[in-house]
Structure 1
């Protein structure tokens, strides 16, 4: 499957949404934003961590199927670089756990959903013993639909909730409208569902909402950052050295850019600039306590302005493609066409773009620039949360519905190297894919039906495996491992936090302001004023709230 490329200069939400299914399909995990949780009443704020959280978690029983060539290290995904033995696939669900009782699932979907009763859905239901009615919703506008459904009295039996949609009233609605799965999954109870038992405990901890285990997680690598991909084939042809500092990047960018030849050095580099200059992520992981003991938010870091100033210099120097400046078109297509030589994007697009171009552009070679620090030394990188998408079961669901929903999730969480994983990811051999040189290749029906439905219910521990392009899987893991050596965890790492609703929109103005500032449409004083306003409008009070929360629950780092 080829993922949809992110458009130029996307918002945080649209950027993550556009690549979420790509990551789920090819990496076993989803990026980047922190999630929120509520309380049992649906009205209180806070988090559950430490020993209190440990008591709620399922027992961890590692999978022994298909040992990875590259084990997880420094927070990376694991990697499989050999061809899978299609004739010797293991079975992770020896007995159907579903009873065939029907249930409805609402999930975000990117692209055109297949029709009900299609060959893919029939095959999955038959294998898992389920009968799922899919209520797929446009992933790009999912938050609007999710908010409306959760505010209504008619909620589907199972709902997929991405962390980037947990804003405003949705966060509290998750606690109010979805059930505690502890009676079915806590402790040794999870062993009925071995694939769910193999999900790492850190990911399960992120499924605690309002003091109860409600969310079935899709695990993610914590060494997971927007990746500056570059056209290695064109770098080699021109004799360019890969930049190793912001100054080197600027010098190279000026040399590489030729508007006459319709070649620009890069697209909008804001996402990589956050990592280069050591700026924390948005949302709850944007808070951290420094060595001086002071708790600050990301916009208060001196590095925040430094990152924005560097990106603005790139725009001012004319090295950013004009369409990226205008936030139009498709940056991924410009990258494939050689119109931009560096594209910072989700790491899943490394494989996605290479696979897309494999036949039409066989000379294309993609690699990733190692993130460097502001002074050209080692970067300071902040860990991503270990899970940011969940499937949840509505309160009041019947026992039969619950058991069938868990059976579906267990099937979807099958590890690499199993029959179940092949069925979820590729469909039925001969119907959705054929095997060429030992590698499964989807046909047109596979590309139209085997998309992003079942993969959203649950996932195994994060991994990369591309039998057709194994070298990319290796490079993805090795890049994460190298970068993970410089990873720090914030004070709120691994915590599922819901902020008081009165602060829900406190930081909402910064994203557009960042976009405008780097393009020269706002002044530095405008950004500085926004930071001051943020503090006086509630930022300082929110800091006190976070300090109390961390003092009570302990630090995540």
Structure 2
């Protein structure tokens, strides 16, 4: 799992969000009708059953964003930062002195455990958090072993992309029910947790119980078709408004002799412009159409998106290294000017600007609006309202659970507060300095204030880049425009545990997609795979999901 590779996978898009949060100190850009099955290891919980366990929502009013959330977007902050004006959202430490061992994925080199950042955070929390950081790229392997052992840490952080196989069942059997501490008005003891959107909490219900502390995410797609605005402006290229115009523009841009190609792999953008149901999480790939549940791979839109992407490769407008899937780095090819368009997580909007600020002062990245393939409005599908969760060992004492929640109440502090600055930037003077209203990390900040505490819990989705406020504004406005065309599929916002016999049923589709668009397999091979999927359990899985929907209703119901 390597963010920003040439052929992005579902996992790399999700991971890049967490990495962006950790490395830049920004917020993750990783947000009723009857119910049943509250004690089951498979199924879901919605409606009245969900309402019984959901925390009360109490909007946070400590700070006011410059751009309010709209259409499923993050909130945006675009003004300069003044340390003197930072608010306090945790007036007194709530921790009671427990020692808490936390296992979490980590991208990069973990700092020494005895460092000023960890010490300062633990002092504010009032507990001793001990981080057992594991390589995020191989977290799957470690996670399975730890969950199967009898010696599990107090807290385990699990990203949604690591929830394959038997992990969901392990979550239900191994982790504590937080309902007695957070359901209803109980959450008000932890005001920053009370301000987490209800959709994110709904998605943290596993096996009928509130088990996860969520990192809320915007529900609008996080995959942006980026383009080199500086080059487009210079050359007079006009942004395409249809699939046909994109291909025509791509042919116009491409000059292989000059080592310039129009784009990198655009499969994920193709899914969006053709209105394909989400591939982010399996339940989001199902939708009720005219009384029948349809899975994303069965749709005409799915095949049309693959065929269009295939045309890009066939026309020679895709960088040749993209054909190899893992050859080189799409983001690097973009900044080098070898490709003028690529798709990646929205975090790259700021990431690439910050990276190039000292290398190429003319560099300008921007995101094009997603268009409908025929030139009309796009039909987009909402993603999951949370992407990463922290779970507490069910063997943990009440004191430990309380102190974990106290810690999460600090890390979930909103932008514009002292607690947010400490969590995301560390100690002023040690880990960062502020120049012209912009916090700048020191070398110590870049090595110590990484993806540890931010993995415990987060506030409502926020975008803020004091160094590039215009980028923050563009990101939020892009989300809001795309959010206006975003729909919620039938199982949006429901944490669903599929029966174990179906867990791996659709695992091979992503590889086959990559082979089809690159010309190594045919569209007919995909059609055969879909037929095999149906006969090997897809049809029965459809019946299972249909009964789930009939019995529970949707989260919106």
TM-score (norm 2): 0.96
What's 2:426 paired with? Answer: 427
SS in 1 for 2:537: helix
Superposed, which structure 2 residues align to 1:19-168 within 5 Å?
A: 19-23=17-21, 28-31=27-30, 44-168=41-165
What's 1:170 paired with? Answer: 167
Aligned 8 A contact 1:279 1:298 in 2: yes
| Residue 217 (structure 1) aligned to one of 207, 214, 219 | 214
Superposed, which structure 2 residues align to 1:532-551 within 5 Å?
A: 532-551=531-550
Q: Give how far 1:30 is off.
A: 4.5
Q: Give how far 1:176 is off.
A: 0.3
Q: Give how far 1:29 is off.
A: 3.3
Q: Give how far 1:23 is off.
A: 4.4
Q: Do the aligned partners of residues 186 and 89 (structure 1) sit closer, same or farther apart at CA in structure 2, a change above 3 Å counting?
A: same
Aligned partners of 1:401, 1:40: CA distance in 2, in Å? 25
Aligned 8 A contact 2:55 2:186 in 1: yes
Q: Give how far 1:394 is off.
A: 0.4
Q: What number of residue pairs does the alignment pair up? A: 547
What's 1:7 paired with? Answer: 5
Aligned partners of 1:377, 1:199: CA distance in 2, in Å? 35
Aligned 8 A contact 1:39 1:172 in 2: no
Aligned partners of 2:216, 2:253: CA distance in 1, in Å? 39
Q: Give how far 1:441 is off.
A: 0.4
Q: Give how far 1:186 is off.
A: 0.8
What's 1:35 paired with? Answer: none
Aligned 8 A contact 2:29 2:222 in 1: no
Aligned partners of 2:41, 2:158: CA distance in 1, in Å? 20
Aligned partners of 2:61, 2:30: CA distance in 1, in Å? 26
Residue by residue, what CA displacement relative to the aligned partner does 1:265-286 show, whole Å, maximum 9, x if unpaired? 1110001111000001121100
Q: Do the aligned partners of residues 274 and 31 (structure 1) sit closer, same or farther apart at CA in structure 2, a change above 3 Å counting?
A: farther
Aligned partners of 1:371, 1:20: CA distance in 2, in Å? 24
Aligned 8 A contact 2:38 2:45 in 1: no
Aligned partners of 1:515, 1:319: CA distance in 2, in Å? 16
Structure 2: stretches of 5+ with no match in the other structure: none
Aligned 8 A contact 2:26 2:465 in 1: no
Residue by residue, what CA displacement relative to the aligned partner does 1:489-533 show, whole Å, maximum 9, x if unpaired? 000011110111000110011010001111111111111100000
Matched, 1:245 2:229: no
Q: Give how far 1:423 is off.
A: 0.5
Aligned 8 A contact 2:21 2:29 in 1: yes
Aligned 8 A contact 2:21 2:454 in 1: no
What's 2:256 paired with? Answer: 259
SS in 2 for 1:55: helix
What's 2:229 paired with? Answer: 232
Q: Give how far 1:373 is off.
A: 0.6
Aligned partners of 2:323, 2:358: CA distance in 1, in Å? 30
Q: Do the aligned partners of residues 415 and 433 (structure 1) sit closer, same or farther apart at CA in structure 2, a change above 3 Å counting?
A: same
Q: Do the aligned partners of residues 39 and 447 (structure 1) sit closer, same or farther apart at CA in structure 2, a change above 3 Å counting?
A: farther
TM-score (norm 1): 0.96
Matched, 1:271 2:268: yes
Aligned 8 A contact 1:30 1:218 in 2: no
Q: Give how far 1:15 is off.
A: 3.6
What's 1:204 paired with? Answer: 201
Between 1:121-130 and 1:537-546, the stretch displaced more is: 121-130
Between 1:10-19 and 1:314-323, the stretch displaced more is: 10-19
What's 2:496 paired with? Answer: 497
Matched, 1:303 2:317: no
Q: Do the aligned partners of residues 5 and 13 (structure 1) sit closer, same or farther apart at CA in structure 2, a change above 3 Å counting?
A: closer
Q: Do the aligned partners of residues 471 and 26 (structure 1) sit closer, same or farther apart at CA in structure 2, a change above 3 Å counting?
A: farther
Superposed, which structure 2 residues align to 1:380-459 within 5 Å?
A: 380-459=379-458
What's 1:315 paired with? Answer: 313
Between 1:120-129 and 1:527-536, the stretch displaced more is: 120-129
| Residue 181 (structure 1) aligned to one of 178, 181, 204 | 178
RMSD between superposed Cα atoms in Å:
1.5
Q: Give how far 1:470 is off.
A: 0.2
Aligned partners of 1:148, 1:306: CA distance in 2, in Å? 41
SS in 2 for 1:69: coil
Aligned partners of 1:433, 1:271: CA distance in 2, in Å? 36
Aligned 8 A contact 1:18 1:140 in 2: no
Aligned partners of 1:27, 1:219: CA distance in 2, in Å? 13
SS in 2 for 1:105: strand
Aligned partners of 2:445, 2:527: CA distance in 1, in Å? 51
Q: Give how far 1:9 is off.
A: 0.8
What's 1:510 paired with? Answer: 509
Q: Do the aligned partners of residues 26 and 302 (structure 1) sit closer, same or farther apart at CA in structure 2, a change above 3 Å counting?
A: farther
Residue by residue, what CA displacement relative to the aligned partner does 1:276-317 show, whole Å, maximum 9, x if unpaired? 000011211000011x22110000110000000000110111
Aligned partners of 2:41, 2:409: CA distance in 1, in Å? 31
Aligned 8 A contact 2:29 2:463 in 1: no
Structure 1: stretches of 5+ with no match in the other structure: 33-37
Q: Give how far 1:84 is off.
A: 2.0
Q: Give how far 1:5 is off.
A: 4.8
Aligned partners of 2:377, 2:13: CA distance in 1, in Å? 27
Superposed, which structure 2 residues align to 1:282-297 within 5 Å?
A: 282=279, 283-290=282-289, 292-297=290-295
Q: Do the aligned partners of residues 169 and 401 (structure 1) sit closer, same or farther apart at CA in structure 2, a change above 3 Å counting?
A: same
Residue by residue, what CA displacement relative to the aligned partner does 1:38-97 show, whole Å, maximum 9, x if unpaired? 9776x6310000111011011111111221111011111110110122111111111111
Q: Give how far 1:407 is off.
A: 1.0
Aligned 8 A contact 1:276 1:374 in 2: yes
Residue by residue, what CA displacement relative to the aligned partner does 1:193-249 show, whole Å, maximum 9, x if unpaired? 110011011111111111111101111111133101111000011110011111111
| Residue 187 (structure 2) aligned to one of 187, 190, 195 | 190
SS in 1 for 2:256: coil
